[in-house]
Structure 1
Amino acid sequence: MAWASTVPAPMVSVSYLRSPQAIRTQAQYLLELGLADRLHHFQVDLMRLDAVADYVIEIMQRNYPNGNIPFHSRWRHFPADRVAPILQNLDVWERAKARFDLVIPSVLLDAGAGSAWRYRDAAGRVWQRSEGLAVASLDLFCQGKFAQVGDLATDAIGLAQLTLNDLAIGLQVSPTNPIVGLEGRWQILQKLGQILARSPQFFGSDRPRLGNLVDYFQHQSVDQSLSAVTILQTLLESLSDLWPERCVLAGQNLGDVWNYVPMDSPLDSSLDDRTASTSTSTSTSVLVPLHKLSQWLTYSLLEPLMEAGVTITDLDQLTGLAEYRNGGLCLDLGLLRLKHAQDTQTAHSVASALVVEWRGLTIALVDRIADRIRQKLQKTAVELPLVKILQGGTWSAGRTIAQTLRPDGSPPILIESDGTVF
């Protein structure tokens, strides 16, 4: 068979590795390795594709019987009655800025919380997982914890003043209510404040603020149209220093990009010509860009911009999200099978070959699932874009099957998270 191309050597650049094209290319590469049974940890069974698509359609139609599926974004996790009232007195552009100020730190806090953590709001409602983190971040925002002057904003000084103890109290963390990666989440918010202070081209100079990204995107738009790819690449450029330096190229932190050594490398005589080599990779490793949180954030910025009158183009160039709900769906329903049963018994590093394979395969298989769903429903990609299939959809189906198979709804594989990937 013809191997899917790894990142071609002439194209190994920071800008390429920050593109949806690179994410898809490398995900497809891992899928083709899987179909040839040349992965370390997984086998792929595309005979299960129809069954998975049918299951996702069942969940979509249950959740959205009228077919009106919203975008997959952080906004789905906020209580519907909470956000609009606090922003109702702002004009259209200030409302967009405030929504950026709210949703960006909320997304950055949205790494997996773990199965033990809960959050109780002022009304006594108990939340957990992504929804719990959303409500907690909304409360922190409304309390002015992200702003210097305590208003509805997120600025450099406000984030600098936020202590680890402030965040722990805000998230209601205690010995009996532990959360995964608390310090990692706080460090991200600290780094975010530092980035705001030194990046006036994106966040303004008088009062460096996340909401000022709205002005930047407005200037980038042409006739009030803006590519979703531009949004993603802007976030990857402007926020690159948020992430631990796991992989660096040309002095640039690549973030959610991972070295992967294929089985029996070199795969063929042309491997060296097709291998992305960096200061942190080996001569036989390839780079796998995933950019989960950055794409999740991109999806979450679309609605504030659209509500301000900006038309978003190139939406389907973005990919599925390499996270444990979409990946769990593939594993729990048999599209993927672990080669070694004992791999479910221990937690795995996000840099491990197992997790890199799982996440990359997830992106490629979500594309396959989406195509099959559209075929079955006789919909085009314009009528049913990937961002709606994720919401309707694969993420919801992944959570549902996890709760069916495991009492705590945990993913089928345990991951050692530092709060900066998922």
Structure 2
Amino acid sequence: MTKFGDVASFVVSIIKRDYAPDYAAIPPHGRWQHFDVGGRPRIDQLMASWPSTVDNQERTRRLLDLFLVSVLLDAGAGTKWQYKSKESGRIYRRSEGLAVASLEMFKAGTFSSDPREPFQVDSAGLKKLDVATVARGLQVTSSNPIDGLEGRTSLLLRLGEALQNQEVFGLEARPGNMLDYLLSHPTTQASSVPIIPLPTFWNMLMDSLTPIWPPSRTQIDGVPMGDAWPCSVMPSHPTHPWENIVPLHKLTQWLAYSLMVPMTKLLHVHFAGAELLTGLPEYRNGGLFIDVGVLTLKPEDQERGLAQYQRNALVLLCLFQHQLGAVAHRIDAAQLVGREPFGVGPGERNEPFELFGWLPLGETWGLEPLRPKRRIVGKAKLKK
């Protein structure tokens, strides 16, 4: 607990180093940043390729189509997989590689059922996918394997089913039509800019995407809960099975952050209550706490701890999420933010997602502090 102030100060120092004095330029954390890997503004270039007759609402729909599919493909790729861009010839790995791959698949019309409209995702287009098609799109071969190829394909197929919800996704069964659902929702305020309550947006994602979760996930009354898991340290109750279930919803929160960006950038949508989203319970964030010394492992417990890793992984994720909140509150406290470290008040930050939306880009993503400690950035110190 005594280290939280040190972590906050460290994060502030990195933000100052990389963004001072223009703190309003800190980008929100979302999939858009992955598409721009290598400093190439791929999303801007994509939009520039569309004719001027495509208005901002349709541009936003298309980006929502792309971002949703790309986020769902964004599970751990493993250490052996890589993707060679067909456009630049450069090689990318991990999340950034999956972002570039999904973008190039999108531009090729892989997810569309209409050859005349390649820049969209629709139910019929997803339902025609199979493992071989996804493997070709991701350049998977025996010498370039990716973790979870079948699982990714199954997820896209289930998304095709979920898009049949016409109330949210319209007659075209496109993810982008959630924009029309949100803008016309009775809780949305139409002023100089649309104001969408975060709970309206969140409930839409949780309810409409329930069918995509594998049936093997935690269920209550036969309904898959998604990224929510029984936790052994929580109290259990024989007639209240939800009492010991911890809702992380990392993928849905990552999706929420990512989808908010194009709606905010193109249509100036404001999400009221965006601070209700949490920091992502992500192992990269966990790396920050390990490397800065918030979490330390007693030498005599290392062997026992590694043996218990699988059983306790969920507890670690909960801990990372909780600690992110503590660091964020330290940074946002009057003695740290105000006019002190950034020279800009909380109400003046030009970003829609409050601290959790830009802290990962500011550097809670756990890579900076480990650079002097690890030869290969991104590799865990402790291996199973």
* TM-score category of the 2 structures, normalised to the smaller one: 0.7 to 0.9
**Shift in Å, 1:326:** 0.9
- The percentage of aligned residue pairs carrying the same residue is 36
Equivalent of residue 124 in structure 2, options 157, 172, 175: 157
Q: Tell me the equivalent position of 2:240.
A: 277
Equivalent position of 2:379 in the other structure = 410
Q: Does the Cα contact within 8 Å between 2:7 and 2:327 map onto a contact in 1?
A: yes
2:32–2:43 CA contact under 8 A, matched in 1: no
1:108 and 2:63 matched: no
**Alignment equivalent of 1:168, drawn from 131, 135, 140:** 135
| Equivalent residue for 2:368, pick from 400, 406, 411 | 400
> Following the alignment from structure 1 to structure 2, what is the Cα–Cα distance between the partners of residues 413 and 383?
41
Aligned counterparts, 1:221-370, within 5 A: 221-223=188-190, 224-245=194-215, 246-262=217-233, 277-278=240-241, 286-306=244-264, 307-338=266-297, 340-342=301-303, 345=306, 348-349=309-310, 352=311, 354-370=312-328
Distance across 2 between alignment mates of 1:341 and 1:226:
47
Larger relative CO (CA 8 A, sep 6+): 1 or 2?
1
* Cα-to-partner distance string for 1:202-261 (whole Å, 9 max, x where unaligned): 1112x2111111111111222221022321221111001211232222432211111112
Structure 1 pair 99/359, CA: closer, same or farther in 2 (3 Å)? same
| Cα distance in 2, alignment partners of residues 391 and 355 from structure 1 | 25
Does the 8 A contact of 1:328 with 1:412 survive in 2?
no
TM-score (norm 1): 0.77
Tell whether 2:35 aligns with 1:78: yes
Q: How big is the shift at 1:105?
A: 0.6
Mark the CA change 1:363 to 1:193 in structure 2 (over 3 Å): closer, same or farther.
same
- The letter of the residue matching 2:210 is S
* Number of residue-to-residue matches in the alignment: 350
- 1:362-406, Cα deviation, whole Å (9 max, x unpaired): 1111011112223423365545622111321312xx123345434
**3-state DSSP of counterpart to 2:65:** helix
Over the aligned positions, Cα root-mean-square deviation in angstroms equals 2.4
Gaps of 5+ in 2: 339-343
In the other structure, the counterpart of 1:389 is: 359
1:156 corresponds to which letter in structure 2?
S
Partner letter of residue 119 of structure 1?
Y
Maintained 8 Å contact 1:325/1:411: no
Once the 2 structures are TM-superposed, how far is the Cα of residue 113 of structure 1 from its aligned partner? Answer: 1.6
User: Which letter does structure 2 place at the counterpart of 1:77?
Assistant: H
1:295-352 residue CA offsets vs partner (Å, 9 max, x unmatched): 1111111122222132221011110001111122112222123463136756955xx3
Q: Which residue of 2 aligns with 1:213?
A: 178
The one-letter amino acid paired with 2:214 is: P
SS at match of 1:226: strand
Contact 1:144/1:152 (8 A) holds in 2:
yes
- Normalising by structure 2, we get a TM-score of 0.84
Find out whether 1:192 has 2:176 as its counterpart. no
- Amino acid corresponding to residue 103 of structure 2 in structure 1: L
Cα distance, 1:104 vs structure 2: 0.3
2:155, 2:213 within 8 Å by CA — same for their partners in 1?
A: yes
CA distance in 1, matches of 2:345, 2:244: 33
Contact 1:115 1:410 in 2 (8 A): no
Q: Which moved more, 1:136-145 or 1:300-309?
A: 300-309
Query: SS where residue 405 of structure 1 aligns?
Result: coil
2:29–2:358 Cα contact (<8 Å) kept = yes
In structure 1, the residue matched to 2:107 is 142
Gaps spanning 5+ residues in structure 1: where? Answer: 1-45, 416-422
Rounded Cα–Cα distance in structure 2 between residues aligned with 1:341 and 1:165: 42
